[in-house]
Amino acid sequence: MIRKQFFGSTGHKSTATLFGAAALGNVSQEVADDVLKLLLEHGVNHIDTAASYGDSELRIGPWMGEHREKFFLATKTGERTYTAAKKEFNNSLKRLQVGSVDLLQLHNLVHPDDWDTAMDDEGALKAAVEARDQGLVKFIGVTGHGLLAPTMHKRSLERFEFDSVLTPWNYPLYRNARYRKEFEELVKICKDRGVAVQTIKSVTKGPWAEKPRTRRTWYEPLEAQEDLDLAVSWIIGQEGIFLNTAGDVDLLPRVLDAASRHKERPSDSDMDGLVEARKMTPLFVS
């Protein structure tokens, strides 16, 4: 089974490896139900989806009648204004077939203009706070993609007491001194304030080269089990850090297997060897 740890100050102990439900964006209900069996088998108790993840919320909805209490359920809104975010979130509740969720996140809030709109008096944050006041959501988070995510999350935490953040993190990003500094500063703030830290892009090999894409991930992922063992253990070997699984259902069993067998964080020399052997490259360029 996968180790559990407190998800920030929420009081919930989530598995260190969370289910990134973007993987359900373009699959049948039959495939989705097989994924549910896999999650239950590994004890995964935290689902992270979003309104923009295709059919993901629709595929999760049928699970909730019997299994709602087994999962910490999180979704996201990518809308920036109060009215649009409220409408999207209410639609998410219908799609998920639930009366409430545990976590609502402002999705990919990294562009300064988007940030200003979302944090405005009539922005998406107002809709999230209102939903919390109404008992439709317990906690509020913020997510981001790209190299600016940690920097913008620090700004967001100055503006509002978010319960969680989500940002890219993998070994090639660790080797980017500027990004590593921003990430480590963000983690320290989060640790001091009891904010959960979720990571994405953790099993990235690099951007897709000019060849047919064989996975639904928008980056080329590591494939071999031994490579995934290293990448997954490198993330969840960091105290309090959560790994959101990759957006491809066929990779999911390998990632969960790696997480269930995790013992300790690989050394930098081990990870340097992986980078060289697999010719890993940064997903984001400064």
> What angle do the packed helices 225-236 and 252-260 form, to 10 degrees?
60
The answer to whether residue 286 is domain-embedded is no
Residue 160 lies in a domain: yes
Residue 50 lies in a domain: yes
Averaged over successive runs of 10 residues, the pLDDT of the chain (286 residues) comes to 96 98 97 98 98 98 98 98 98 98 98 97 98 98 97 98 98 96 98 98 92 87 97 96 97 98 95 97 84
pLDDT value at position 83?
98
What are the distances in angstroms from CA 86 to CA 39, 126, 279, 283? 30, 9, 44, 33
Asked if residue 283 is part of any domain, the answer here is no
pLDDT at 209: 81
Decide if 284 is inside a domain: no
Residue 163 maps to a domain: yes
Q: Which domain holds residue 144?
A: 4-278
pTM of this prediction exceeds 0.85: yes
Nearest to 87 by CA among 127, 37, 146: 127
Q: How many folded domains does the chain comprise?
A: 1
Rg of the chain over all Cα atoms, to the nearest angstrom: 18
The answer to the question of residue 66 being in a domain is yes
Burial bucket for residue 94 (CB in 10 Å: 0-12, 13-18, 19+): exposed
Give the H/E segment covering residue 255: helix 252-260
- Classify residue 130: in a domain, yes or no: yes
**pLDDT score recorded for residue 64:** 98
Q: List the CATH number of the domain containing 130.
A: 3.20.20.100
A 10 A CB-CB count for 120 gives: 14
